[in-house]
Structure 1
Amino acid sequence: MSMVLFASVVRVGDGLPLSASTDYEQDRELQETKRHLKGLSKKLGQFPDRCTLKTGPYNVNFTSALGVGYLMVCTANYPSVLAFCFLDELQKEFIITYDPKRISSAVRPYSFIEFDTFIQKTKQRYNSPRSLSTKINLADMQTEIKLRPPYQLSPEDLRAINGFSVHTPSKYKGIAPTQMLEPVTLSGIVSCVLSILCGGLNLLRGVHAIESILQCYLFAYFSVWRNSKSFLAFALICLSNMYLYELRNMWQILFHVAVGAFMTLQIRLRQPLGKAPDYNV
């Protein structure tokens, strides 16, 4: 029989358990799987925001967003789309119910144990497919999983979770840039054209145009620390114009700085598409 067996909510930064479903299951293999889940909860920040770990007769699925991770154990034959719909419901309810400041300031394990009531009700619904089918829309989740499937954790990842590797986390840094961004707006196109123009003018002056090129790249593609890189590029533009102070008049300098600031704003406004950072997008 396919079913959800256990679920928990943890803080991503330190793995502090915030809430969990109450269960009295004594199956040895399930207890071993929950041990892996406990180890995984302490290292969520090292993995992509949606993963599946297969451990024999059981699967561990998890998602993370806004500094909170949502994990669940289900039987191996439980449909993946239902598993992530289940986690999606937990996330939406938890975000609505609890203030981020309260979450970040929690110091005691299971500070939000009352959330177990919602977990249990949701678990019962997802273990009764007939009553569930009319209450959720599987199409959106099916499309999303097809476009961005969960990362399948490997035996090597499992060893890293259990503390046998210290070099594993670095390989996940290449996963985040595949994140799609929101559609380009007219103001974004204008900022790109102006940025390219400024880059061309800087090349004519014999000055590196790498700042403008970097800004265009950050606007077009998602990358780790994207906002920080955009502010760094803007700072370099300001420094370059200070260097050219004697070669340009005030209006030219203001134009370059204004375009750099406008481009930085467009990078900041163009957010990732999909479930990062919020599944409700």
Structure 2
Amino acid sequence: MSSVLFASVVRVADGLPLSASTDYEQDRELHETRKHLKALSRKLSNFPDRCTFKSGVYNVNFTSALGVCYMMVCLSNYPSVLAFSFLDELQKEFIVTYDGKRVGAAVRPYCFIQFDAVIQKAKQRYNSPRSLSTKINMADMQTEIKLRPPYRLSLEDVQAINGFSSRSSAKYKGIAPTQTLEPLTLPGAVSCVLSVLCGGLNLLRGVHAIESVLQDEDEDFSSVIAFFLGTAACLYQCFLFAYFSVWRNLKSFLALGLVCLCNMYLFQLRNVWQILFHVAVAACMTLHTHLRQPLGKAPDYNV
């Protein structure tokens, strides 16, 4: 029985299958595994760029880069270094053959089915590991896997992602910290420091507002809440900037909205320049969070 059983190439943004191997063995358990692969392909943007999912005697391995995901099904005892070296080879061949514009313009499933010829050749080679000639590349891959092992998805992760479980999506948010972000830039670091400063100013004003409320019962306690919400929003933006999180861009934008609302409410307690400063810092943090994307592989990786 072959070790590498099935492989496919999928667009990350919407899960559109671009190509796949056409000759695969089929049994009930393998059919269920391929159903899991198809379900995972629809939610690839929620996962790190390298994952493994065990389904009975089979493994689903996949790796993503430059908006395209390379997926495969193999026996669970097939070495990870060979599995991800196989996917890495598909990635390099696909990048050379198809540019990003063609991938983005694709509208029909399997519009690059001719890539199956490349998949078949790679399958034949990786199903006979002793005949492989890319030992240097595999040594590099083995080192990389030791340094940054693939995230191991559980069945609960897959069920939660696809709505088959009543558990909260927080179940699979633990995936996020395994993803590495791009290196910190100086403007991003400055924005983060200023955001912490804004949070500290909000906290200090909130403490003073509490003292005023305690001294004068007629004081409005809602301003205290606005100051502390502003503090939380600023610090949360720093967290989103520093660590990968599912939907982190959306969360950062919502935190920006909260900062704006809090400052609108505190309009009577701050002058225009103070409000503009707080809003501008929050906007910069949102921008730099968006710019600091998860670290993917370069097109010439291992070339």
TM tier relative to shorter chain = 0.7 to 0.9
* Alignment-mate amino acid for residue 267 of structure 1: T
Quick one: which of 15, 32, 38 aligns to 2:34?
Answer: 38
Q: 1:69 to 1:265 in 2, by over 3 A?
A: closer
TM-superposed CA distance for 1:253, in Å, is 2.4
2-side partners of 1:150 and 1:248: how far apart?
47
- Say which of 253, 269, 272 aligns to 1:247: 269
- Cα deviation 1:158-185 (Å, max 9, x = unaligned): 9x59x99544784323222332323323
Over 3 Å counting, the alpha-carbon distance change for 1:32 and 1:16 in structure 2 is: farther
C-alpha deviations, 1:19-73, integer Å up to 9, x for none?
Answer: 2223275xxxx533431233113310288451232533x5443345666543323
Residue equivalent to 2:149:
148
Once the two structures are TM-superposed, the CA of residue 137 in structure 1 deviates from its matched residue by 1.5
Give structure 2 stretches of 5+ with no counterpart: 207-226
1:51 pairs with 2:73: no
Hey, what's the Cα distance between the residues in 1 that align with 2:255 and 2:24? 55
TM-score (norm. length: structure 1): 0.77
Q: CA deviation at 1:278?
A: 9.3
Higher radius of gyration, 1 or 2: 2
Q: Distance in 1 between matches of 2:6 and 2:187?
A: 47
1:212-237 per-residue CA deviation (whole Å, 9 max, x = no partner) reads 11111111222111111111112222
| 1:273 CA drift (Å) | 2.9
CA distance in 2, matches of 1:38, 1:15: 14
Letter in 2 for 1:151: R
Q: Deviations over 1:64-103 (max 9, x none)?
A: 5666543323344432111112122323444551623333
Quick check: 2:173–2:245 contact (8 Å CA) kept in 1?
no
Find the counterpart in structure 2 of residue 86 from structure 1: 86
Other-structure match for 2:103: 100
When structure 1 is superposed on structure 2, of 142-151 and 216-225 the one drifting more is 142-151
Provide the rounded CA distance (Å) in 2 between the counterparts of 1:51 and 1:202: 44
1:107-146 aligned at under 5 Å gives the runs 109-130=109-130, 132-134=132-134, 137-146=137-146
* Residue 130 of structure 1: how far off its partner (Å): 4.9
C-alpha separation between the residues in 2 aligned to 1:234 and 1:164? Answer: 29
Q: What amino acid does structure 1 have at the position aligned with 2:274?
A: Q
Q: 2:262 aligned with 1:259, yes or no?
A: no
> 1: CA distance between counterparts of 2:37 and 2:192?
41
Query: Which moved further from structure 2: 6-15 or 86-95?
Result: 6-15
Change in CA separation of 1:11 and 1:37 when aligned onto 2, cut-off 3 Å: farther
Equivalents in 2 of 1:69, 1:120: separation in Å?
17
Amino acid at match of 1:205: R
Aligned residues: 269
Could you tell me the percent identity over the aligned residues? 64
Change (3 A) 1:15 1:259: closer
> C-alpha distance in 1, partners of 2:246/2:6?
32
Check conservation: 2:19, 2:115, Cα contact below 8 A.
yes
Cα distance in 1 for partners of 2:133, 2:154 equals 29
What root-mean-square deviation, in Å, do the aligned CA atoms of Structure 1 and Structure 2 show? Answer: 3.6
Q: 1:24/1:241 Cα in 2 relative to 1: closer, same or farther (>3 Å)?
A: closer
2:183 counterpart of 1:176: no
Hey, what's the Cα distance between the residues in 1 that align with 2:124 and 2:266? 68
Partner of 1:196: 196
Q: Deviations over 1:126-161 (max 9, x none)?
A: 23445534375224432443323341545x789x59
Give the direction of change, closer, same or farther, for the CA distance of 1:60–1:257 in structure 2 (3 Å limit): closer
